[in-house]
A and B are shown apart, each in its own frame.
With several copies, the nearest count.
Chain A
Amino acid sequence: MFHKVLIANRGEIALRIIRTCREMGIQTVAVYSTADRESLHVRFADEAVCIGPPSSTESYLSVPRIMAAVEITNADAIHPGYGFLSENADFAEVCAEYGIKFIGPTPEQIRKMGDKITAKETMVKAGVPVIPGSDGLVKDLKSGKKIAKDIGYPIILKATAGGGGKGMRIVWEEAEFEPNWDRARQEAKAAFGNDGIYIEKFIEEPRHIEFQIAGDQKGKVVHLSERDCSIQRRHQKLVEECPSPFMTDELREEMGKAAVQAGEAIKYEGVGTVEFLVDKYRNFYFMEMNTRIQVEHPVTEEVIDHDLIKEQIKIAAGELITGGNYYPNAHAIECRINAEDPFNDFRPSPGKISSFHSSKGHGVRVDTHVYAGYNIPPYYDSMVAKLICRAPTREECIKKMERALDEFIIEGVKTTVPFHQRLMKNEHFRAGNFHTGFLNDFDLTAEPKK
C-alpha cells in the first residue's frame, strides 16, 4: 500500500480523499493555490504545499508545480480527484516517468476514452451500442435519405460546425426530410459559413443513465449499478440518484453487461463511469466514458455500502477484485449545492459564508469543504456541498431530502438549495417522470405544487 498520497485537487473531493486515506493509514499531502489557504483540505491533510496563484493553470492544472510538490514531500502516489488533471494522459505519463503511482487508469486508457471518435470505434468493436448515425458528413440529399431510412426515424440533422442548437433539425418522417435538409444547410451556411451536415438518430426523451464500473490490473471488470443524472441544466448535472426510477431489472442487466464490456475492451484499470443515453423505449446508447472518480460517486457508495475511493486506491495498489457486480440495497439521491442564484439564471454567487449548518441525522451525508467564515473564491467551480440522502425507498428518500434541505443553512451567498426544495416537490420528479430536457420546462419561479 502507498505510504503517502498527494491529492492534486481542491475542495470537497480533496477532503473526501484525505478522509479515506486517513482511514487506510496513508499519509496525505494537500496542494493549494493562494486562494485556497483556508480551505479544509489544507487543514486536514498531514502536509500542505502552496503551489501557485489562484489561476488554475498556474496551480491545480500545472504539472511541473504539482510534481515539484511531490518531490519535496516524497509522496509515492497522486490522487487526481475529478476535473483538473484527472483525465490528462500526459500528466499520468509524467507520473509514471517519475515512478509515482497515478491513482487512475493508464495514460493509454485515458487517451482511448478521451478522444470521442476512438472511444466510439472501440465501443462498436466491443459490441456496445452507440448512437447510430452517418459515417461523417452526408454527401447529398439522396444518400442522406438513405442513411436516415437505415437508422430509422426520428433522426436529427446536425451542422458539423454547429453548436448551441443552431443548424440542428429533427426529422420525424421521410416526407419531412427534404425541406429540413435544405433549411439545415442554409442555416449552417449562414451561421458558420459551412454547410456540412451529419445525421444522428434522434433520442426521444433521453435519460442520462451511467454505470459505475471498476477494473483491476488483471483486466477483471465489474459494475456497481447505475446512477440517473437526467436532472441537468445546460449539461450540468444537478441531481443524481440510484436506482434510476426508469430502471428495470432486465435493463440493468443489459446495460451493466454493456458497461462491463466497455471496460473490458480497454482492460480498464481503476474506477470509471460509462455514460449512456436511454430513450423512452429503453434503448440505450454509449455516450462517453469518464476515466476517473465522479462528483456523484457517493450516490453509489450509499446504496452499495462501499467506499469507492478506498476501492480506487486499493486497485491502484494492485489489489484484485474478488467479488462480482454490486446492486443497490437502498435508494440514494444527491443534490449538488452550488453557490449560484437559482432565481437569477444560476448566476455564480461567490463570497463569504456568514453562517453555515449542515443537515445531519440518519441517512444524511454532507460532503463539503466550507464552513461559516469561509470565503468561496471566484476562481473555481461553484459547488460548495453535496447533500446525499439514503432511505429504503425513493419516496422516503425524497422526503428525507426535503427535510435535509430545510435543515441546510448557508447564509451570505445564494445557493441552489431553493431550487432543490422546489424540485423535490415537483410531481413529475416525484413520479420519476423526467428526462434531460426536464429543466427546460420546470418553472422555478412558480409556487410548487403540494
Chain B
Amino acid sequence: MTFKELQELVKLINKSNLTEFKMKDGEFELSIRTNKHQKQKQKQQAAPQQPAANAPQTAPIIQMPPVQQPYSPPAPQPAPAPPPAKPAAEAPAQEPPKTDGNKQEESKYLEIRSPIVGTFYRSSSPEKAPYAKVGDTIEVGQVVCIVEAMKLFNEIESELAGKVVKVMVEDAQPVEYDQVLFLIDPEG
C-alpha cells in the first residue's frame, strides 16, 4: 500500500462511522467495527443541514435534497458495484428528510465557519493540545484550529468571543467552505 493510498484510507475511515478498523498485511487480516449508535449517525448527517434547506418551498422539478454539506463521503458509486435500485444520481433524494432539530437546540449559539476548503486540524501537531476544546473561552482573533490546504497550514482565527460549546468536525477531517467548525456560546 502506498502512502497516498494509506492517506486516503485513513481519511475514508475517519469520515466514516466506523468505530474500529484493524488490518494486518502479512497474510492479510482485517477487523472493522462500526458505530452501534444509529442515533449518532443520523445526528452527524443532520447537523450540517444548511439554512438553505429552510428556504421554504422551492418546489422544484426535482425535489432537491439538502445539499451535502459539510463534505460527506461520496454517495454510492455507480462504477464499482452499483446498487441499481439506488443510483448515485438519485441517492441524495432518498436520504431521509433531515430534521432541523439540532439546529433549533443550538440556535442560541454562534458558529465559527471554515473560510476555506481543506483539512481540519485541532492542533498544530498530533502531540500538541487542541487550540480550542469544549468549555474553553475564546476571544476574537484567537486561533481555534488549522485548515490545511495545498500544504499551507492556515490558522483560523475566531471572529467572535464566547465559550466553545461543541466542536463540529473531527480532527484531520476534510472541511468545505462555510462548514460549521465550532459552536460558540456568546454568553458563556
In-complex A–B contact (CB below 8 Å):
yes
- Chain B contacts of A357 at CB under 8 A? 61-62
A48-81 interface bits toward B, Cβ cutoff 8 Å, 1 = contact, 0 = none: 1111110000010000110111011110000000
Closest to B70 in A: A50
Q: Are A425 and B84 in contact (CB under 8 A)?
A: yes
10 more CB-based (< 8 A) A-B contacts, given A373-B62, A448-B84: A26-B79, A38-B58, A44-B89, A50-B176, A71-B119, A71-B150, A355-B62, A372-B61, A409-B62, A425-B84
- Chain B contacts of A354 at CB under 8 A? 52, 55, 58-59, 63
Q: Which A409-430 residues sit within 8 Å CB-CB of chain B?
A: 409, 411-412, 418, 421-422, 425
Closest to B84 in A: A421
Give chain A nearest CB distance to B9 CB in angstroms. Answer: 11
Task: Assess whether A27 is interfacial by the CB under 8 Å rule.
Answer: yes
**6 pairs of residues in contact across A and B, judged by CB atoms under 8 Å:** A34-B178, A37-B50, A49-B174, A355-B62, A355-B63, A448-B82
Q: Are A46 and B88 in contact (CB under 8 A)?
A: yes
- Chain B contacts of A69 at CB under 8 A? 117
CA A374 to CA B75, docked complex, whole Å:
23
Give chain A nearest CB distance to B10 CB in angstroms. Answer: 12
Closest to A354 in B: B52
Q: Are A72 and B117 in contact (CB under 8 A)?
A: yes
CA A406 to CA B82, docked complex, whole Å:
11
Q: Which of B87, B93, B176 contacts A405 (CB 8 A)?
A: B87
Q: Are B178 and A50 in contact (CB under 8 A)?
A: yes
Task: Assess whether A42 is interfacial by the CB under 8 Å rule.
Answer: yes
Q: Which of A50, A74, A407 contacts B89 (CB 8 A)?
A: A407
Given A448-B84, A450-B80, decide whether A50 and B62 contact each other with a Cβ distance below 8 A: no
- Chain B contacts of A407 at CB under 8 A? 89
CA A165 to CA B58, docked complex, whole Å:
45
Which 9 residue pairs of A and B lie closest in terms of their CB atoms, listed nearest first?
A373-B60, A68-B149, A72-B174, A406-B87, A371-B61, A373-B58, A354-B52, A50-B176, A421-B84
Q: Are B71 and A72 in contact (CB under 8 A)?
A: yes
Give chain A nearest CB distance to B2 CB in angstroms. Answer: 12
A344-362 interface bits toward B, Cβ cutoff 8 Å, 1 = contact, 0 = none: 0000000010111100000
Q: Which A361-391 residues sit within 8 Å CB-CB of chain B?
A: 371-375
Q: Which of A27, A374, A411 contacts B63 (CB 8 A)?
A: A411
Task: Assess whether A47 is interfacial by the CB under 8 Å rule.
Answer: yes
Task: Assess whether B35 is interfacial by the CB under 8 Å rule.
Answer: no
Closest to B15 in A: A72
- Number of A-B residue pairs, CB cutoff 8 Å, is 155
Task: Assess whether A402 is interfacial by the CB under 8 Å rule.
Answer: yes
Task: Assess whether A233 is interfacial by the CB under 8 Å rule.
Answer: no
Task: Assess whether A22 is interfacial by the CB under 8 Å rule.
Answer: yes
- Chain A contacts of B64 at CB under 8 A? 38, 43, 373
Closest to A52 in B: B177
Q: Are B74 and A418 in contact (CB under 8 A)?
A: no
Q: Are A406 and B88 in contact (CB under 8 A)?
A: yes
Task: Assess whether B8 is interfacial by the CB under 8 Å rule.
Answer: yes
Give chain A nearest CB distance to B178 CB in angstroms. Answer: 6
Task: Assess whether A127 is interfacial by the CB under 8 Å rule.
Answer: no
Task: Assess whether A25 is interfacial by the CB under 8 Å rule.
Answer: yes
Q: Are A355 and B65 in contact (CB under 8 A)?
A: no
- Chain A contacts of B4 at CB under 8 A? 74
Give chain A nearest CB distance to B188 CB in angstroms. Answer: 28
Closest to A21 in B: B79
Give chain A nearest CB distance to B152 CB in angstroms. Answer: 8
CA A47 to CA B150, docked complex, whole Å:
20
Give chain A nearest CB distance to B145 CB in angstroms. Answer: 15
CA A321 to CA B152, docked complex, whole Å:
40
CA A407 to CA B59, docked complex, whole Å:
19
Q: Are A48 and B89 in contact (CB under 8 A)?
A: no
- Chain A contacts of B61 at CB under 8 A? 355-357, 371-373
Given A37-B69, A43-B64, A50-B179, decide whether A409 and B89 contact each other with a Cβ distance below 8 A: yes
Task: Assess whether B77 is interfacial by the CB under 8 Å rule.
Answer: yes
CA A166 to CA B55, docked complex, whole Å:
48
CA A421 to CA B52, docked complex, whole Å:
22
Q: Are A48 and B67 in contact (CB under 8 A)?
A: yes
Task: Assess whether B116 is interfacial by the CB under 8 Å rule.
Answer: yes
CA A373 to CA B175, docked complex, whole Å:
28
Given A22-B78, A37-B69, A355-B58, decide whether A51 and B88 contact each other with a Cβ distance below 8 A: no
CA A47 to CA B59, docked complex, whole Å:
24
- Chain B contacts of A48 at CB under 8 A? 67-68
